[in-house]
């Protein structure tokens, strides 16, 4: 379990350490099952290409989940997320090989709010392209 951070320890403007999360075809199949989103474009290359995509793409929500994990890993187990929003600016293309793709997340403390809440500005990239923009989370810390 990650360590618990407290509101008093947080400084506005502080950069959070970057983290990378792998995504493979197996990740997407598992996410299909766990989420109930079986859209063909997340697991069927033939259909993905037939509708004009470069290859199978990750669920936007899988990418958002990695950004969420980044937030909760930083904030610690007692933190509570009160707001979380993203714009999906580009697709995470997941090739059919053993490496898959990487989602790289970075963040910064945007501001300290009342009620022990902290706003974080997040960025996620894959293959040198921003895949999440306007990504922001608010967490309530002890």
Give the position of tokens 């793409």. Answer: 57
Tokens of residue 47, six digits: 């259909």
Site residues for other proteins, window 60-79 (CB under 8 A)? Answer: 60-62, 64-66, 68-69, 71-73, 76-78
Q: How far is the CB of 71 from other proteins (least distance, A)?
A: 8
Q: Is 41 in the site for other proteins (CB under 8 A)?
A: yes
What is the rounded distance in angstroms from the CA atom of residue 119 to the CA atom of residue 17? 16
What is the rounded distance in angstroms from the CA atom of residue 105 to the CA atom of residue 119? 16
Residue among 47 and 109 whose Cβ is closer to other proteins = 47
DSSP letter (8 states) at residue 41: G
Residues contacting residue 36 through CB under 8 Å, at least 6 positions apart: none
Which residues in this chain contact other proteins in the complex, by CB under 8 A? 1-2, 4, 21-22, 27, 30-31, 33-37, 39-41, 47, 51-52, 57, 59-62, 64-66, 68-69, 71-73, 76-78, 80-88, 91, 134, 137, 142
């Amino acid at each position: 379990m990650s360590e618990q951070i407290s509101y008093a320890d947080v400084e506005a403007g502080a950069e959070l350490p970057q983290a990378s999360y792998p995504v493979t075809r197996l990740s997407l199949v598992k996410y299909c099952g766990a989420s109930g989103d079986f859209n063909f474009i997340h697991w069927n290359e033939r259909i993905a290409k037939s509708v004009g995509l470069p290859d199978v793409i990750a669920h936007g929500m899988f990418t958002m989940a990695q950004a969420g994990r980044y937030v909760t890993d930083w904030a610690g187990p007692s933190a509570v997320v009160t707001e979380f929003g993203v714009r999906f600016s580009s697709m995470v293309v997941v090739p059919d090989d053993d490496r898959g793709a990487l989602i790289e997340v970075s963040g910064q403390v945007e501001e300290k709010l009342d009620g022990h809440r902290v706003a974080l500005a997040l960025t996620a990239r894959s293959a040198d392209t921003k895949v999440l923009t306007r990504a922001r989370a608010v967490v309530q810390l002890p």
